Amino acid sequence: MTDSSANERVVLEAITNKIAVYSPHTSLDVATGGVNDWIVEGIGIGDIRALRPFGNLPPDEECKLITFCPEDKIEALRLAMSSVSCGRIGNYEQCSFTTSGTGTFIGGEGTNPSSGEAGELQRVVECKFEMVVSKASLSLAIQALRQFHPYEEPALEVHELGERPRREIGIGRRIHLDKSLQLDELARKLKKHLGVGYVRVAPAAGKDDRAQVQTIGLCAGAGGSVCKLAIDDGCEVFITGEMTHHNVVAATARGCTVMLTGHTNSERGYLPKLKEQLSQLLPEATISVSKSDSSPWTYF
């Protein structure tokens, strides 16, 4: 590391003064109660969700373990597998699913089937039994299944599970207002909430400031890459800090009004709220919002 750039000098100065730096940038945008949700608070009441929801687990981190077992043995198997962390979904434990059916098998030479004789086709009333398990606990789960299963060679399946998206966490926000409002009223509400004197508005083709709008997409900071998601999701207005000229023109041509607040204006007003949240989590600490940090823009 050198002092050849402004960012490097900031880091060196922080190290010299023994200051730790933690920068929750995009993570604070996507989180529940984060920057994007704060912007929504200034718009109105309605149904709110992320434009691109995030899963609460990385892909392929969980599996579903499936086996087939006589109904009267299911309870013992469920308890055994739960003891090695199977069946945990959020704040719930011992989650499982059971389906009744008929299983068939023929035991080979030297086998000792729990039902019938080796070499003969057997039909047994069984249950399909399913539980989720983390990959970290999978080997223990299979060991417990084999130990407590009544069959000499239990059938089992392991399926990788994808992420489970949560509508309230993710990139951007989409709000469908309970009541529509005029475009100029939306601009006034936004200015008041952000504490700014103006926002730039590019009305959709054929629309003016009196157009009624009800479905709004937004993304704090530079949200040009998210605008298409909002339009595809039926948003009539997209609010962000900054976008390129060509992206704005493309959005308005597709029938979506664009409101630009300025990059820093879409984020800076959240800092007092972040201070409140940190003060509750760290009551022994003194939390301060910088007074010297400000927008780099001056207007002539």
Tell me the whole-structure pTM to 2 decimals. 0.70
What does the block give as tokens for 110?
């030297």
List the chain domain ranges. 20-55+169-281, 62-163
Per-residue pLDDT of the chain (300 residues; tens, 9 = 90+): 888 999 899 999 999 999 998 888 888 999 999 999 999 999 999 999 999 988 665 555 889 999 999 999 999 999 999 999 999 988 899 999 999 999 888 888 888 877 788 888 988 889 999 999 999 899 999 999 999 999 989 999 999 987 777 788 899 999 999 999 999 999 999 999 999 999 999 999 999 999 999 999 999 999 999 999 999 999 999 999 999 999 999 999 999 999 999 999 999 999 999 999 999 999 999 999 988 878 888 888
From residue 286, give the alpha-carbon distance in Å to each of 274, 276, 281, 289. Answer: 13, 11, 11, 10
Query: Which CATH entry fits the domain spanning 62-163: 3.40.50.12140, 3.30.70.120, 1.10.510.10, 3.40.1410.10?
Result: 3.30.70.120
Query: Which CATH entry fits the domain spanning 20-55+169-281: 3.65.10.10, 3.40.1390.30, 3.40.50.300, 3.40.50.10470?
Result: 3.40.1390.30
Dmax over Cα atoms in the chain, in whole Å? 94
What does the block give as tokens for 76?
């013992």
